[in-house]
Chains A and B, each alone.
Chain A
Amino acid sequence: DQQVKQNSPSLSVQEGRISILNCDYTNSMFDYFLWYKKYPAEGPTFLISISSIKDKNEDGRFTVFLNKSAKHLSLHIVPSQPGDSAVYFCAASAGGGADGLTFGKGTHLIIQP
């Protein structure tokens, strides 16, 4: 039973445009959400996070939106740059993270020139 779902295995976006990566979750106990970015042959790196008490968090070109009623979050990258090409993982935790982070399967973002 996948509690964090990223339904798009890959996404192709033109350089300069907006990239929108989506993530759905089923566990209503999740109260903290994170996005990680992963390049080939490297470990995932933390990108941005959001607490369930907020509906938006922004950091430079990256914004995460949380819709608790729909159990949906999205990551917006504006403008998209070639260096953004990577696999993006959505992750969630509950109750202070006692059970670790639950990750989605990832979305491979490809930025085309």
Chain B
Amino acid sequence: DSGVTQTPKHLITATGQRVTLRCSPRSGDLSVYWYQQSLDQGLQFLIQYYNGEERAKGNILERFSAQQFPDLHSELNLSSLELGDSALYFCASSVASWGLNTGELFFGEGSRLTVL
């Protein structure tokens, strides 16, 4: 158990809809990262938050947005869903902002999104 909690574990929805994925980081971790893993793809970095502020942005679509709340949990909002958005979405957390190069991210079990 990594200590990172993601809900829901599975989600099935239709094209054009909007969903929200939720992540609770490990106790004490200030940074939250979101990654997308599509079929046969590696983990694609989407976005990072550190203590409520956006810290880094990767390959995140404009239809997607995220935020980190004062209690440090984070939500990833996916809107106008397309078939290609079907993927595993992982949340990870770490103690500090990445700049300390600690390397270690603690991942949740992921949320599997299926868009029909």
Interface residues, chain A, CB within 8 Å of chain B?
2, 4, 6, 32, 34, 36, 41-46, 49, 51, 89, 91, 93, 96-106
In the complex, chain B residues 53-79 whose Cβ is within 8 Å of any chain A Cβ: 55-56, 58
Interface residues, chain B, CB within 8 Å of chain A?
2, 4, 33, 35, 40-45, 48, 55-56, 58, 90, 92, 98-101, 103-110
Q: Which 5 residue pairs across A and B have the least CB separation, nearest first?
A: A43-B107, A97-B98, A100-B45, A96-B99, A103-B42
Number of residue pairs A-B, CB distance < 8 angstroms? 73
- Given A43-B2, A51-B101, A96-B101; A101-B107 close (CB under 8 Å): no
Nearest neighbor of A34 in chain B, beta-carbon distance: B103
List residues of chain A with CB within 8 A of the CB of B35: 100, 103
- Asked if B109 contacts A103 (CB within 8 A), the reply is no
